[in-house]
Amino acid sequence: MAIIEVAGLCKSYGKVKAAHEVTFNVEDGEVFGILGPNGAGKTTTLEIIEGLRTADSGSVRVCDIDVLKEKRAVQELIGVQLQSTTLFDELTVMETIHLFQGLFSKKVNLTSLVTKLALTDKQKSPVKELSGGQKQRLALALALVNDPKVLFLDEPTTGLDPQARRSVWELVQEIRSNGKTIVLTTHYMEEAESLCDRVAVMDHGKIIAMDTPRQLIKNLGFDNTIEFSIGDGLDVRELEKLPSVKSVHNKEKEHHLFTQDPQATLLGLMRLAQERSAAISDLRVHTASLEDVFISLTGRRLRE
């Protein structure tokens, strides 16, 4: 059963189409990721589903309730972590959680919530004294005070150090194992790959691909990527003729070769570089990832 149904969603700011004909369903209990670079329209899409913005056209249903018509009924059922959460500096952690709990009719046990998010020691600390990771955990706690059916996380790990990021990932997996549906946006492909059951790739307000991470990569038709920079003296068109190369993406001096047989392609590349006395640098070979999906669809990297 689809718990979220988004159909034909459009939203423009002046001439900029922040969301254009966005259509997708999220199934009950899955972790659904929206992957895309900054400005792709991820946040706009999320905020329309959350009832924070109104769409120009299209429909959004959450738990079979029309968001445009019954915003507050939907907001009773969802939990939201915004991209950046600022809270009342003057209140303590527990006071803030208590305040938010009062805004919903359904409530969870606060002691176990605070324990789960490792905020027990910080209960009486003022919000302004929390570290980045602690603030993020508090924001997550606030998103869970009403035992939501769907949890929306907008870039939950942006700006966190690797350790804090890991702990957020673990929390998301734990929440998911409790049967909640999670929708998250991210521009980290590792995050999308390791957390999401399905991923929608977004660019310029449109969904350009949507599937499980594994299937998205499989659809590429190649398993490996060779990345490198090369000096002058080489015609980039010659790269396409190298053995086993499926496709090539060039950006200034940086090149991506997508290949089924990295060994053959590498040998050919080395020979070519030798002949033209062009120096190869920053050479990397890796198995295909969601980043490559994005590059092959748009010709650009996720973080540019």
Positions touching another protein (CB under 8 A) are 50-52, 72, 75-76, 78, 80, 82, 84-88, 90-91, 95, 98-100, 102-105, 142
* Min dist. Cβ of residue 242 to another protein (A): 50
Q: 78 or 216: whose CB is closer to another protein?
A: 78
Encode 260-297: b = buried (16+ Cβ within 10 Å), e = exposed.
ebbeebbebbeebbeeeeeebeeeeeeebbbbbbbbbe
Q: 89 or 252: whose CB is closer to another protein?
A: 89
Rounded Cα distance between 296 and 304, Å, is: 15
* Min dist. Cβ of residue 75 to another protein (A): 5
Helix axes 132-144, 162-177, angle to 10 degrees: 10
Contacts (Cβ under 8 Å, ≥6 apart) of 149: 3, 63, 77, 78, 180, 181
Q: 44 or 224: whose CB is closer to another protein?
A: 44
* Min dist. Cβ of residue 185 to another protein (A): 15
Q: Which amino acid is at 119?
A: L
Q: 95 or 261: whose CB is closer to another protein?
A: 95
Q: 111 or 194: whose CB is closer to another protein?
A: 111
* Min dist. Cβ of residue 280 to another protein (A): 47
Q: 48 or 217: whose CB is closer to another protein?
A: 48
* Min dist. Cβ of residue 173 to another protein (A): 23
Rounded Cα distance between 207 and 204, Å, is: 8
* Min dist. Cβ of residue 126 to another protein (A): 9
Rounded Cα distance between 83 and 154, Å, is: 5
E-strand ranges in 36-88 read: 57-62, 65-66, 78-81
Question: CA angle at residue 42 from 304 to 291, to 5 degrees?
Answer: 45
